[in-house]
Every structure is written in structure tokens, then in C-alpha cells.
Amino acid sequence: MKKIAYVFYLLLLVLYSCSSDGFEYRDPVDPSAANLSKPTNNTECLEVDAVKFEWNKSDNTDSYTITVIDLISSESTVKNSNTNSIEITLTKGRPYSWQITSKNKSTSKTAKSEIWKFYLSGTANTNHAPFPAEIISPKNDAEVSAGSVELSWKVDDVDTGDTHKFDIYLDQTDASTIISSDQSATTKTVTLTAGIYYWNVTSKDDKGNHSQSGVYKFTIK
């Protein structure tokens, strides 16, 4: 009986030595990605003073970081929150994207949500410019083999009934040389030799509105 009690005591001692303050040690748990709620993706947002961002609480998360990007100027607004909502004052009449990063203080790993876009309008507009084209390939600073290269992109618009055409600019200096205008396709195949190239896409809707993707750079090896 004494032997059994002694073994039990040793077992308790081992468990205690592997814990902090008498509690069992547990490995850090990575946070989960948050699900975005509002502003809704690819919609117009009408706000008087500030935009209220909301998302669903994610598992194993202590805090959140929200990143809001002005899609015209590329300027970022970064805020931290301990809850699943925050209000941010932004310039009206501009398109934005936003994303939530979930954090857990017990680990350095984070989890990122999807990226959503919205148009912030102070008053209701009858029509909006399309969101700046999202470059799919080649990505910025990508390395691509010489020869046939497919340029590809996608575009979203608050006004779902609009049709779009695109002007594509490509050169080895500043993406100011137009190589295709008023095309409907969201791809353009070009033949390129070794060097550094710059390109951008201007998106135009059938109401006369337009937006620019910004300049992207890639290298042909």
C-alpha cells in the first residue's frame, strides 16, 4: 500500500513540475482567421462621420489588427482592437480594401482574413468608377521566363451591371506606353526578352468612369 502511495506521489510531482503555478502546461494555440461582416464586399458604404468595421470573433484570439488601404493612393490605415468592431474615419469618395489579422499573445503566429473592398460615398451616387484592377500575374517583383508572357488581372465594381474595357501599359521605364486599348478581355499575351518591365491597367466602365491599378514591376530572366 505504501508503495502504491509513493508511486502516486511521484506521479503528482512530475505533473506539477511540468506545469506553471500548479496548472498543466499546454502548447500555444494558433489563432483562427476572422470572417468579415461589414462593410460588405464590393458594395457602396454610406457613412456620415466614420466607417464601422465589423467581423465575427475568431477562435483562440486575444486581439485584432485591421488594415485599411486606400486603393487610389495605396496609403494604409492600421488600427488595433480587442473587440470585433472598430470605427475609422476615412476620406469619402474613394475605394478601399480591408483585412483583419487575428493574434494570440501566447504565439507569434497570426491568421489573416479575406480581403474585402468597398466604396465610401458621403451621399448616394448613381454610378461609381470600377475598383482598381487586381493584378493576378505577373505579381509585383515576380521573375518570369523570357518568351510568351500572359498579363492577367480582374476587376470588381459596385455597379454590377456595368461593362468594362481596359487599357494596358507596358514598357521598361515607367509603364507609360500603351500596348492595348479598349480591350474587353482580362488577359494580354506579350512576347518579352530579358530585362525589367513595368505595367499597369486602366479599367473603364460604360458610364465614362475609370480607375488605375498602379504600376507593377516584374523581371524577365
**Domain architecture of the chain: domains with CATH:** 36-121 (2.60.40.10), 134-220 (2.60.40.10)
Q: What is the pLDDT of residue 123?
A: 65
pLDDT value, residue 20: 46
Residue written as grid cell 492600421? 78
Q: Which pLDDT score is estimated for 25? A: 53
Per the model's pLDDT, the better-predicted residue between 165 and 25 turns out to be 165
Q: What is the mean pLDDT of the chain?
A: 88
Angle made by CA atoms 164, 68, 134, in degrees to the nearest 5: 30
Q: Are 212 and 164 in contact (CB under 8 A)?
A: no
| pLDDT at 109 > cutoff 80 | yes
74: phi > 0 → left, psi -120 to 50 → alpha, else beta; which?
left
Neighbouring C-beta atoms of residue 90, cutoff 10 Å: 15
**Does residue 157 have a pLDDT over 50?**
yes
Backbone φ and ψ for 182, nearest 5 degrees, come out as: 55, 35
Q: What pLDDT does residue 3 have? A: 53
**Banded pLDDT at 121 (limits 50, 70, 90):** confident
Q: Report the pLDDT value the prediction gives residue 96, as an integer from 0 to 100.
A: 93
CA distance 202 to 178: 10
Q: What is the pLDDT of residues 27-69, one digit of tens each?
A: 788 999 999 999 999 988 876 678 999 999 999 999 999 999 9
Q: Over 70: is that where the pLDDT of 220 sits? A: yes
> Stretch 125-141: mean pLDDT, rounded?
89
CA–CA gap between residue 131 and residue 74 (Å, rounded):
13
- Count of H helices and E strands in the chain? 1, 20
- The predicted model scores a pTM of 0.68
